[in-house]
Amino acid sequence: MATSNSKTADMSDKKQAKVEMKDQKHLSYEGCILHVKDGLVPNMRVPGRVYVGQQSITQLENELRHFHKSGSTSYLPALQQIGNVAALPGIVGASIGLPDIHTGYGFAIAFDMDDPESIVSPGGVGFDINCGVRMLRTNLTIDDVRPVQQQLTDAIFNLVPVGVGGRNKDCLTSEDLRQVMLRGMDWAVEKGFAWPQDSLHCEERGQVLVLDPSQIGNERAEARGLPQLGTLGSGNHYAEVQVVTDIYDQDAAMAMGIVKSGQICIMIHCGSRGLGHQFADDAIKEMADAMKRDSIQVNDQMLSCTRINSTEGQAYLSKMAAASNFAYVNRSMIAHRIRAAFKQVFNRSAEELEMATVYDVAHNIAKVERHIVDGVEKRLLVHRKGSTRAFPPGHPDLPEDYKEIGQPVLVGGSMGTCSYVLTGTQQGMTETFGSTCHGATLTPEEVLADLKEKGITIRVGNIKGISEEAPASYKDVTEVVDICITLFTSLTLRSQSWYQQKSFPTRTRLCRQRIDSTAPINYHVFNFVQNGSALLSDFGYSGFGLRLPQNWPRHRGNMYINSLQSLGPGPARALHQLWDTV
């Protein structure tokens, strides 16, 4: 028996070695570029090109090796995903992976609009359509903010609805929602949720053209989107108060209204909420039939697609545009409330505080753009999933005040680390269809260990949401940015969460997460909650424990507290103290 097992293991090792040799045959390296050659996966139409550092190359290779060794079917290695994207009909140039590449299909790719075979893929955009980042500046400094740190944190938390269960506080109608989807930022300005100049500093001026308005009528999308407009969402979405720590390009920073280190700014990261998810889900179901009809084959069903000019393709583009407009307004309404929070704390208007929008970028979207491919200008449908547009100086799509410096690119880091502002370059247009990374963060193990040590002030509806900000799919932001500025963007400035004593960064993060009662989670399950699930929007986390709903019976509260014992004695004790006051 031992001999038989030994032979089986030996055969398995030889098979593994053969697979690894095959993989290496299709990979080559050139500085910070990892080339993925035809043959890594079937039917590749263009090569893959991944811009990464040596550490990430090793991680990507190990991921591929582990995948073959384990036979896992729960995920695909990032390099195989780059190959699968390269097999899509109508793709041109290359399948591009950016420095924050991870398992989860993040890329920048383009399809020739003049090729009847070209496709549009919801998987190439993402479910959270126009998930993006908006940055506001202020004329405040860290010295202004430090004395009112807690008050400002509380004011923002109280004014900005958060989490999956977060609901807006405005009386909006179905017609309001329709106008939001059709008009985007124009609606927000008209209703007083944005300043006129905010629109100028949004991609597409915050209004993407909906070609066929008849496609956006969707009862389920409306039911999900209407209460969520102006809310932050869950997972890695956040609102963050930052301090500028380093300015690398004075002229570019000055054009953005950033005049000195120590200046306070705000980043808002969120998207189209449930409305975008619903549109994407509906489109994917419709495309399943279209793929059969048109004999479209893909290597991975996550890349389901349809011809751009098909009925389904045009319908999806209209829905995507509507969801994009929703996302621009969503960030505007959150910015409006953050401006109100600053006014409340500092007793000065947002105008007096000069809380202007620096820029608003999308990193889950598809856009029609013109690019040079093999020396020929082509009209392309550029898909950016987990990547950000980065147009160079002089590009006609940029606002006048950024024509000389290039498009600002907002790159968020993780809790307690730094964020960056980059600008686009001509080299980026050549290399990546004018695209760059969108963000990065730490590993889950690093995040929770660092929060208390760094003196971070946080308001969160569910403590589990903290670790969600840093899944292993993300990378260290400085490593990512180093590659970007080496190859295709310019570095303008770095910002960090505002500082306390001992120079520990402090940040405001807002997120809540829905937990299914049947799911194995870190802090036990809500086995006492009826209907199989609970919304943690029923609770609030205020730095020392969870506030329980006052209408809960005492036995239910005690069961909930007991289910959290794995959090340790501190949180459990705080919960008991809170419950005793109800």
Span 389-440, pLDDT tens digits: 999 999 999 999 999 999 999 988 766 668 889 999 999 999 999 998 877 6
In 164-300, beta strands by DSSP E? 238-247, 263-270
239 annotated binding-site participant: yes
Please indicate, yes or no, if residue 354 is contained in any of the structural domains.
Answer: yes
Mean pLDDT of 29-45: 91
Structure-token pair, residue 345: 């704390």
Three-class secondary structure of residue 383 per DSSP: strand
* pLDDT of the residue at 9: 46
236 annotated binding-site participant: yes
pLDDT of 560 over the 60 cut: no
204 in the same domain as 270: yes
256 in the same domain as 188: yes
Please indicate, yes or no, if residue 438 is contained in any of the structural domains.
Answer: yes
Structure-token pair, residue 8: 């089986």
237 annotated binding-site participant: yes
395 is catalytic: no
Structure-token pair, residue 183: 């008009």
CATH value at residue 277: 3.90.1860.10
474-527 pLDDT per residue, tens = 456 667 777 777 666 667 777 776 522 222 222 232 322 222 222 222 222 222
13-30 pLDDT per residue, tens = 544 444 455 677 889 988
Please indicate, yes or no, if residue 352 is contained in any of the structural domains.
Answer: yes
530 in the same domain as 498: no
541 in the same domain as 494: no
Long-range CB contacts (within 8 A, 24+) of 18-25: 19/68, 20/65, 20/68, 23/61, 23/64, 23/65, 23/68
Marked catalytic residue, from 438, 524, 555, 576: 438
201 annotated binding-site participant: no
* pLDDT of the residue at 66: 80
- State how beta strands 238-247 and 263-270 pair: antiparallel
Q: Domain end: 460, 480, 506, which one?
A: 506
Domain that holds residue 541: 517-581
Q: Domain end: 465, 487, 506, which one?
A: 506
450 in the same domain as 539: no
Please indicate, yes or no, if residue 10 is contained in any of the structural domains.
Answer: no
Stronger pLDDT, 170 or 73, i.e. the higher one: 170
Query: What whole-number percentage of the chain has pLDDT above 70?
Result: 70
558 annotated binding-site participant: no
Which alpha helices (H) appear in 111-203, and where do they start and end? 142-145, 149-159, 174-183, 185-190, 196-200
551 in the same domain as 452: no
Query: Structure pTM?
Result: 0.78
Structure-token pair, residue 309: 């000019």
304-334 pLDDT per residue, tens = 999 999 999 999 999 999 999 999 999 999 9
Beta-carbon contacts of 70 under 8 Å, excluding residues fewer than 6 positions away, are none
467 in the same domain as 337: yes
**Which of 540, 378, 434 is closest to 203 using CA atoms?**
434
Angle at 37 between CA 87 and CA 429, to 5 degrees: 75
Q: How many domains, in total, are found in the chain? A: 2
Q: Domain end: 506, 539, 558, which one?
A: 506
Helix (H) or strand (E) holding 9: helix 2-25
In 39-115, beta strands by DSSP E? 48-51, 95-97, 107-112
Structure-token pair, residue 22: 């095959």
